[in-house]
């Protein structure tokens, strides 16, 4: 009789639960209040690929402070692929014990002690792009582990994802992060294949819009089954995407190649300035420990960074192209504007810009620059010098692959 009563009780509960429906609902929404301006930091991949260990990461964190990058606004120290060891018998991931003998919690504590934040990498598939254990099937365990370690940022890649749908896979890791309880910036690294700008704003804080960047100003690197792209090719691929971005949800044209040795000083300036203009995450990808003065000057230019970090959060738009010189405008909070003249040709180009042309209208948002009714002072953001006003025609010469970046300050 006792066994019969227990059986009837279990059946009753099961039937009751079925009739009421499943009340357990996942939270597929990202953490609010994070990345209200484009994230700034460093990532290991561009320079070091799989050659990462805790000594390198500690030294890079030290260099971010000593170089002035932390003071300029850089926050995240992000460890990309290949930090992984094996999963234990319960499925929990552990770091490579040879490369990270102190463990990730100790490393996160060290980074936090510097006033910085730590990021980590995983993949929606069964394996990462570097062949390490992916998070597929282990999303909630991995999120719990990252929270216990003190992780602040997760780059989530898209290799080895046979049969998965991107939106669903990224919702799963978002739900896992929410369940773990530690606020984490989620970087969706799906390469733009499934239009993440359409569904990403609710799920993550930034999303890759393209394939990988390549350390070249204006070229394509064909690997056979896939391609990587130069700075200008990546920039071209942002067309039509600015309307999807804003505070807390950013288009990500991939990491910076500044300081990695193949771009000229002019190309470094153009790369950095245009990433600032399009409100891209500023994630350095060079060796911070060995930077020369020129690289530091580019990466820590606070006037240019202010354009990127502007609280209005609106990307620049391309207005004209003439003689290989593109003119871009970016509205800023409070009524100022930024304008960039980027020279894509291999020869120096002269420009003459008449400010009294018809009003400049933002094609996607309600912003208008009308210099016929208002004058502005012009500040060159690379030299720091005032270069006149909008009362007269702007005449300048822009060297090959270089950029003239101005802030229009209201009089």
Which of 269, 373, 240, 288 has its CA nearest to residue 44? 288
User: Can you give the length of the chain in residues?
Assistant: 411
Whether the predicted pLDDT of 88 surpasses 60? yes
* Active-site residue, selected from the candidate residues 212, 252, 268, 310: 212
Whether the predicted pLDDT of 13 surpasses 60? no
Residues 37-60: what's their mean pLDDT?
98
Q: What's the CATH code, domain 40-308?
A: 3.20.20.70
The pLDDT, as a whole number, for residue 234 is 98
362 is catalytic: no
For the chain, give every residue range classified as CATH 2.60.40.1180.
317-410
User: For residue range 223-274, what is the model confidence (pLDDT) as tens digits?
Assistant: 998 999 999 999 999 999 999 999 999 999 999 999 999 999 999 999 999 9
The pLDDT, as a whole number, for residue 3 is 47
Residues 110-127: what's their mean pLDDT?
98
* pLDDT grade for 357, boundaries at 50, 70 and 90: confident
Whether the predicted pLDDT of 9 surpasses 90? no
CA gap 135, 140 in Å, rounded: 9
For the chain, give every residue range classified as CATH 3.20.20.70.
40-308
Whether the predicted pLDDT of 24 surpasses 90? no
* pLDDT grade for 23, boundaries at 50, 70 and 90: low
- CA 122 → CA 24, 55, 63, 88, 393, distances in Å? 26, 21, 25, 17, 52
The pLDDT, as a whole number, for residue 11 is 39
User: For residue range 305-342, what is the model confidence (pLDDT) as tens digits?
Assistant: 999 999 999 999 999 999 999 999 999 999 999 999 99
142 is catalytic: no
Mean pLDDT rounded to a whole number for the chain: 94
**Are residues 96 and 50 in contact, defined by beta-carbon separation less than 8 angstroms?**
no
Residue 395 Cα to chain centre, angstroms: 34
User: For residue range 366-379, what is the model confidence (pLDDT) as tens digits?
Assistant: 999 999 889 999 99
Secondary structure (DSSP) of 335-402: G-EEEEEEE-SSS-EEEEE-TTSSPEE-SSSS-EE-TTT--EEEEETTT--EEEETTS-EEEEE-TT-
Domain 317-410 - what CATH class? mainly beta
* Active-site residue, selected from the candidate residues 53, 157, 287, 402: 157
Whether the predicted pLDDT of 97 surpasses 60? yes
């Amino acid at each position: 009789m006792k066994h019969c009563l227990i059986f009837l009780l279990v059946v009753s509960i099961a039937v009751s639960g079925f009739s009421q429906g499943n009340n357990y609902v996942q939270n597929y929404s990202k953490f609010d209040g994070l990345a209200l301006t484009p994230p700034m930091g460093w990532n290991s991949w561009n320079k070091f690929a799989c050659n990462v260990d805790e000594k390198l990461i500690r030294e890079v964190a030290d260099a971010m402070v000593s170089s002035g990058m932390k003071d300029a606004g850089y926050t995240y120290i992000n460890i990309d692929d290949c930090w992984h060891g094996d999963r234990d018998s319960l499925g929990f991931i552990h770091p490579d014990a040879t490369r990270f003998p102190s463990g990730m919690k100790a490393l996160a504590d060290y980074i936090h002690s510097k006033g910085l934040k730590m990021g980590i990498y995983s993949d929606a598939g069964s394996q990462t792009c570097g062949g390490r254990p992916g998070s597929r099937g282990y999303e909630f365990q991995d999120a719990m582990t990252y929270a216990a370690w003190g992780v602040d940022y997760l780059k989530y890649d898209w290799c080895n994802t046979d049969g998965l749908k991107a939106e669903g896979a990224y919702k799963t890791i978002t739900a896992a992060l929410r369940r773990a309880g530690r606020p984490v910036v989620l970087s969706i690294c799906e390469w733009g294949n499934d239009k993440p700008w359409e569904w990403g704003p609710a799920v993550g804080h930034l999303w890759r819009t393209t394939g990988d960047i390549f350390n070249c100003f204006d070229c394509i690197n064909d690997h056979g089954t896939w391609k990587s792209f130069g700075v200008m090719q990546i920039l071209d691929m942002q067309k039509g995407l600015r309307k999807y971005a804003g505070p807390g949800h950013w288009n990500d044209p991939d990491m910076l190649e500044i300081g990695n040795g193949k771009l000229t000083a002019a190309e470094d300036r153009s790369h950095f300035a245009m990433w600032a203009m399009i409100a891209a995450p500023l994630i350095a990808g060079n060796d911070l420990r060995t930077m020369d003065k020129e690289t530091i000057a580019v990466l820590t230019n606070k006037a240019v960074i202010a354009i990127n970090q502007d609280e209005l959060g609106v990307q620049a738009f391309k207005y004209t192209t003439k003689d290989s010189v593109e003119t871009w405008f970016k509205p800023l909070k409070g009524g100022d504007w930024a304008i960039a003249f980027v020279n894509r040709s291999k020869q120096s180009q002269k420009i003459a810009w008449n400010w009294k042309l018809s009003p400049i209208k933002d094609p996607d948002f309600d912003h208008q620059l009308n210099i016929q009714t208002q004058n502005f002072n012009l500040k060159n953001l690379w030299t720091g010098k005032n270069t006149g006003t909008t009362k007269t025609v702007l005449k300048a010469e822009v060297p090959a692959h270089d950029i003239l970046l101005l802030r229009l300050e209201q009089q």
